[in-house]
């Protein structure tokens, strides 16, 4: 929300399991999914890398702003003007573009206790993640969450929504009609899954009408990490290996991140108890 790069760059890497690139519903997944460690990778398993973070540009939307982020990088020393080297200054909020939220973003007591981005759980930020296509006619309500049939055992989920279809992250003016979690949707996710990381394709995981309430639900126990502003334009529904490393910023309630997906030609993970994904 309002929520992430000064040359502050975080690395999020999603590596696809050699699952098909076109997937339907997840109803064919068994109710329990236990992930096994992927085998060692060789050069023969490497494929295309897809960047799922947005470029930090002047017309990138900014929360509740009409004119976008504005100038992000300013050249303060230039070889052309006689300096020994080029040097730029980076100016932006920590909740700009693709970014993560810390518990201190919403709770003053967590801000006072130091629950900032430098304390986020690296285990939660790294591991297998499910990219889910959300029905285009709804916010992320409890009913919508239940209908997605997210398998037991999934700990990280990235929601691809109508926001992607509408290309909202490519429009300078902030749009409050974006799709996000309602309060009951956030409660359902917290109470009925083991999810530790939630990602979405606009500036807030919470819908505008439930902005604070849904954030409170997800961040109050400090065990769910929010990743916002993802670029899921070219990411198929499926299971990925996600690596997300926020900048180690002291006393910061958020951080910009760099997210990429690396597509693998061969299977790189096994999930026992899964019959088929697609």
Residues with catalytic function: 105
132: closest CA among 153, 107, 111, 149? 149
Distances (CA, A) of 195 to 109, 129, 142, 150: 24, 10, 15, 10
Question: 120 with 104: CB under 8 angstroms?
Answer: no
Question: 142 with 190: CB under 8 angstroms?
Answer: no
Question: 110 with 254: CB under 8 angstroms?
Answer: no
Assign 241 to helix, strand or coil: strand
Alpha carbons within 13 A on the beta-carbon side of 153: 15
Q: Which two tokens stand for residue 116?
A: 């900032």
């Amino acid at each position: 929300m309002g929520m992430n790069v000064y040359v502050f760059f975080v690395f999020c890497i999603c590596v696809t399991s050699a699952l098909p690139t076109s997937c339907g519903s997840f109803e064919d997944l068994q109710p329990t999914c236990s992930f096994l460690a992927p085998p060692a990778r060789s050069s023969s398993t490497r494929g295309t890398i897809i960047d799922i973070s947005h470029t930090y540009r002047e017309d990138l939307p900014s929360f509740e702003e009409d004119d976008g982020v504005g100038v992000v990088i300013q050249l303060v020393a230039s070889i052309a003007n006689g300096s020994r080297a080029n040097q730029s200054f980076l100016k932006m909020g920590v909740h700009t573009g693709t970014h993560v939220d810390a518990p201190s973003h919403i709770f003053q007591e967590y801000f006072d206790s130091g629950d900032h981005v430098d304390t986020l759980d690296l285990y939660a930020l790294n591991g297998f993640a499910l990219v889910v296509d959300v029905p285009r006619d709804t916010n992320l309500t409890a009913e919508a969450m239940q209908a997605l049939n997210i398998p037991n055992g999934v700990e990280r989920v990235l929601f691809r929504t109508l926001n992607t279809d509408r290309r909202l992250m490519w429009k300078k003016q902030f749009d409050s009609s974006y799709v996000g979690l309602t309060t009951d949707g956030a409660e359902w996710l917290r109470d009925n899954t083991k999810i530790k990381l939630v990602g979405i394709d606009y500036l807030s995981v919470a819908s505008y009408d439930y902005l604070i309430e849904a954030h409170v639900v997800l961040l109050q126990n400090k065990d769910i990490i929010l990743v916002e502003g993802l670029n899921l334009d070219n990411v198929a529904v499926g299971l990925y290996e996600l690596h997300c490393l926020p900048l180690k910023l002291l006393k910061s309630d958020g951080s910009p991140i760099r997210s990429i997906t690396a597509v693998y030609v061969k299977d790189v993970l096994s999930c026992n108890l899964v019959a088929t994904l697609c």
